[in-house]
Amino acid sequence: MALVGLFWITEDCVYVGAEPVGAATGVRLTEDGVEALGLGRGESWRWDRVRRIEVRDVAVRSAARRLVSVAFDNLMVMVTGDGELPPAFTVCVDAADGPVEVSVVSAVTGGVYTPAEYELSRALLTRLTDGSTPVGELLAWRRDHGTGGTPSRAEREALLRKWTGDDRV
């Protein structure tokens, strides 16, 4: 698995947020469509039935503020021994049969994203929905990437720019 922006990319699917475990809720993107997972959910939609996918309540901070936030969280865990789950955010899937909201857990350490990764991830959701970037591109990158883990911040942003057609350096 590798994290790029808001996405947790495995060899066969892409999750918005972390891959859900147990009864946790989540949103899975496959080459065939979108699935809402967990807590008795069984909703799924083919891509041609999905109008829009949006995210809300995502923690976004500058790179410096993100670093301070993660360091503080790590210090608190060391001092108190009490760790917290990363924050959740909401994924809104607007499909032909109506909107569905799913709470997902942030996949990134500390649950905080940089503004660039957040904006590029939102743009990628739009491109995935309209078909201009197929999920297969993300999966192909993951298969080619092997077990290298999560790329650096600069590499993640470069990938997101490639997948969104944003040619800014």
- Residue-wise pLDDT tens digits, 46-78: 999 999 999 999 988 644 444 444 444 444 444
The confidence score (pLDDT) of residue 79 equals: 56
> Taking the model in full, what pTM does it have?
0.84
Q: What's the Rg (C-alpha) of the chain? A: 16
What is the distance between the alpha carbons of residues 62 and 67, in angstroms, rounded to a whole number?
A: 9
Per the CB < 8 A criterion, the answer to whether 31 and 15 are in contact is no
Residue 167 clears pLDDT 90, i.e. is over it:
no
Q: What is the pLDDT of residues 88-140, one digit of tens each?
A: 899 999 999 899 999 999 988 777 888 999 999 999 999 999 999 999 999 99
- The more confidently predicted of residues 26 and 72 is 26
Q: What is the pLDDT of residue 109?
A: 72
Q: Which residue has the higher pLDDT, 29 or 24?
A: 29
Give the Cα separation of 142 and 68 in Å (integer): 30
